[in-house]
Structures are given as structure tokens and as C-alpha cells.
Amino acid sequence: MRLFPLFANLSQRRVLVIGGGAVAERKIKSLLVSDADITVGAPALTETLAELARQHRIQHLPGTFEENWLDGVWLVIAATDDRALNRQIAELAEQRRLLINVVDDPELSSFQVPSIVDRSPLTIAISSAGHAPVLARRVRERIESLFDHSIGALGALAARYRPAIRKARPDLRQRREFYDWMLDGPVADALKRQQPIEAEKWLEDGLASQTTAPQGKVLLVGAGPGDPGLLTLKALRALNEADVILYDRLVAPDILELARRDAVQIAVGKRPGENHDATQARIHALMLAHANQGHRVVRLKGGDAFIFGRGGEELQFLRAHGIAYEVVPGITAALACSAYAGVPLTHRDYAQSVTLVTAHCREGAMLEDWSALAREKQTLAFYMPVSQLEWLAEQLMTHGRSGETPFVIVENGTRPEQRVLQGRLKSLAQSAQANHIASPSLLLVGEVAGLAPDLEWFGASIKAGSLVPAD
């Protein structure tokens, strides 16, 4: 079951908490900040709750639960240690269409209270739907460390200046740019240094100065190999600020999920029957059209845009048309796949260099200097190798590389479905075929590949032709 998250305004609305022990006390403490009208029903209260009742911050209904306690109530929290009673309360609440949380009992609950990170007015809520509170708490700790408290002050400042900002920047795009400047620039910086007066001065100066109309721009962004955790912070920021995202087929859906909700997302992968040049021409035309409309375009590519990604050609095109651009590097498949397969690309004992090679090249071009590629003590990372495996192995062996040289193929590297095939060069094509290795896959050849059985740690691994799940 998936829960719908919401933030409720409980101010002056009656919330009934049943139970007067430590658990009820914890819930009531978190409710107090919401200014709710809190009633606690229980035969006896903890000392803290009794004190709150004496101060009239909560009301106490003494005794055991009665149905009429539910009259006039908006939300119910059952915090008794009597499951039968909790069930009875849950059923009555259900009949009255009251939302109820039975503490630590997701089955009986119709809502859950999330873990929160409080940076008022900013609140971050985390929920595991009541099933793994420990996990939610762990995530909360992480987030706590991610945002210092100045973000709360920044939110408060933004709230206070909201009408003035709206007036000075009536256009939505300009307003968004202003907020970006405010959140990323000197205003936020001053608040981090605990200089609120200076922050406000920066804000007022910023509002008074006239900015020019936004220029369209293209950000060439590497999305990494698939695992969204491998995006750079800069890439994430670019996705958050994009008006338009032109993305490749290789970009994982999880990554697009992170983009600004109202950004226009356009898939620009190769269409059936279309050749590569036509695809590229279409991408160029789209970048140009959107940038000319003043949009902030993110051109999102798998891995890194400058590694077998035609990123260079795209920049040359933008340059020729006078469009401003930035480049955000991404983690390329060779780096990511080697890391996730436990294959160090260099190693003092086994490899002093690494070469990234495409197994596909422009028609007619010869692939590299084979004798150089076939030398020992170096690692080769072949991109787009799947249809060329037999030929690659043959060329390497013909030019002197031993048939005993270890290889790994990393299929769907860094994604949940990652598979790593390990073997020796002489049986490369055969074992890939037997295991139905498909694209996207990266081939690593070299002595370092022999370390994979020892160092692997992620996903499934295939040895000697049979699929063995990694420990």
C-alpha cells in the first residue's frame, strides 16, 4: 500500500490522543508545535502530561475510552497498550471517517506520522509507511546533516519578502531566477555566516537592481551510468533548474524523476528506422529552438558527455550558433562499471595505464593500433562491444595478447539488474553468447579483471558460464 503524503493544518482543531503513557507523551509533544486543540483521554497521565494539563495546554478526559470522546474530533491517535481497545477505537474512527493513527500498528492505522526535519518554515517529512521506522530515522539523520539551520532563516526571509519579490519581479521566470540567486548566492551565504542584517541588505540591493532578460543556455550534463546516487550535485542542480530536458535513451528513469516537475522532458534517442546523423540533426535543431526561446536547456547524456557521447559535436554546433553553454561532467561507464564490479582500472602489480576504446567507429575508420592495445599490463575498456566481441578478442590475441587474459563484461552497470560476466579472453564471445549478454555492456580486458572474483560486491556475477548470485 502506498500512502499519500500531506501536511495538515491542525491549528485550533481538536485532536484526540487516547492513552496517557510515555508513547502518548511523545506524540503530544510533537503535536504541540501545530497549535492543535489537544485532548488526551486516559485514566492517568505521566507527570509531564499532567503538568501540560494544569497549564491548559492540553485537556484531560479522565477514565477509559468512550465513544463520545470522538465527537467533534478531526484526528485520532490511539496510544494505549491494549490492542483490543486500539482495534475498537480504530473501527469506530473508521465508521466516522476519522483519520486514525494507532501507534506502531500500521494495520490499524489510516495515517502515519512521518519523521521530520524541522527547518521552519521548511519541513521535510520522511515515512516508511509505518513499516520501517528505523530506516526513516536513518534517512532523517542524513538529511539533518545535509541542511544546516540557516536554511530555515532563508525560508523565513523569503516568506517575509515574498510580496516585495513578487512586485519587483512580476514575471515568473525572472522571479525564479531571483530566487535562485537568493538561495545560491550572497544572501544564503551571509545567513550561513550568521549575518542576518548583511543578508537582508544583499536581498534589498538585489531587488533594486535591474537584471536583463534571461538568455537561453544549454547545459551539457553527464547523467552517469544509471545509479542516481552517481549524479554530481551540479548535475542535480541543473536538473532542478531546467526548463527543457533533452535526454538520451541511456539515461535511467530514476534520474529523470529528480528533475523539476514542470520541466519539459523530451526523449531524443534514435528512432526506429532513423540513422545516427538524422538523430543528431534533430537534437541540434531542438537545442537551438529552445535556447533561442530563452530556455534553460539541459542536454542530458548517459555517463559523461565527452566520452563517446558526441558532446564535442554538440558544443561545436552551439558555438557556431552563438548559444551559451556549460558542461557538467558525469561518471563515465568505464569508471562506474569497474567500481561496481570490483575491478580497479589500474593497480601497481597489474596495470599502469587504461585506455577507453569504442568498438564502433565512423565507417571506414580502422580501430586503433592493435599491437599497442595488445600489450600487457594495461587495461582496456571497450564501449559498445556487444556485437563485436568475437572480432575484438581475435584481434587482441592475433596481436599478442594472451588468450588467458582475464576479462569482465559489466551489463547494466550500477543498476539493480547489473550482471558481471567473468572469464578468459579466449572464450569471450562464446560465454557472452551463452549468457545472453545484451546492451548496455562494458567490456574490461586486462590482468585487473582477474581481481573481480575477490573484490566484487554489487549485483549478480556469472563465473564459468553459470549464474551465481553475489553474496
Between the alpha carbon of residue 290 and those of residues 246, 278, 287, 298, the distances in Å are: 10, 19, 5, 10
The three cell numbers locating residue 50: 499532567
Contact predicate 455/343, CB 8 Å: yes
Contact predicate 380/372, CB 8 Å: no
Between the alpha carbon of residue 335 and those of residues 230, 331, 367, 378, the distances in Å are: 11, 7, 22, 15
Name the residue with the smallest CB distance to ligand SAH: 303
Nearer to ligand SAH, 243 or 314 (CB): 314
Q: Which letter does DSSP use for residue 106 in this model?
A: G
Q: Which residue has the cell 551540479?
A: 234
Nearer to ligand SAH, 379 or 441 (CB): 441
Nearer to ligand SAH, 191 or 442 (CB): 442
* Four-residue CA torsion sign, 85, 88, 92, 98: positive
Cα(171)–Cα(294) distance, integer angstroms:
14
Nearer to ligand SAH, 114 or 459 (CB): 459
Cα(334)–Cα(195) distance, integer angstroms:
45
Helix, strand, coil percentages in the chain from 3-state DSSP, rounded to 5: 40, 20, 40
Nearer to ligand SAH, 108 or 235 (CB): 235
CB of 225 to ligand SAH, least distance (A): 4
Cα(335)–Cα(353) distance, integer angstroms:
13
Contact predicate 123/107, CB 8 Å: no
CB of 243 to ligand SAH, least distance (A): 24
CB of 249 to ligand SAH, least distance (A): 10
Residue 248 annotated in active site: yes
Residue 148 annotated in active site: no
CB of 239 to ligand SAH, least distance (A): 17
CB of 347 to ligand SAH, least distance (A): 21
CB of 303 to ligand SAH, least distance (A): 2
Determine the residue type at 397: M
The three cell numbers locating residue 156: 523565513
Which of 192, 270, 377, 463 does the annotation list as catalytic?
A: 270
Q: Which letter does DSSP use for residue 340 in this model?
A: H
Nearer to ligand SAH, 253 or 322 (CB): 253
CB atoms within 10 A of CB 220: 26
Residues near ligand SAH, by CB under 6 A: 225-226, 250, 301-304, 307-309, 332-333, 337, 383-384, 410, 412-415, 439-442
Nearer to ligand SAH, 41 or 309 (CB): 309
CB of 311 to ligand SAH, least distance (A): 8
CB of 286 to ligand SAH, least distance (A): 19
CB of 414 to ligand SAH, least distance (A): 6
CB atoms within 10 A of CB 181: 16
Which of 27, 227, 243, 248 does the annotation list as catalytic?
A: 248
CA 244 and chain centroid, separation = 19
Between the alpha carbon of residue 257 and those of residues 239, 263, 267, the distances in Å are: 10, 11, 14
CA 258 and chain centroid, separation = 6
Nearer to ligand SAH, 292 or 387 (CB): 387
Q: Which letter does DSSP use for residue 3 in this model?
A: P
CA 189 and chain centroid, separation = 25
432-440 contacts, C-beta under 8 A, 24 or more apart: 432/386, 432/389, 434/465, 435/462, 435/465, 435/467, 437/386, 437/409, 437/411, 438/386, 438/411, 439/384, 439/386, 440/250, 440/302, 440/333, 440/411, 440/412, 440/413
CB atoms within 10 A of CB 357: 19
Nearer to ligand SAH, 310 or 399 (CB): 310
Q: Provide the annotated active-site residues.
A: 248, 270
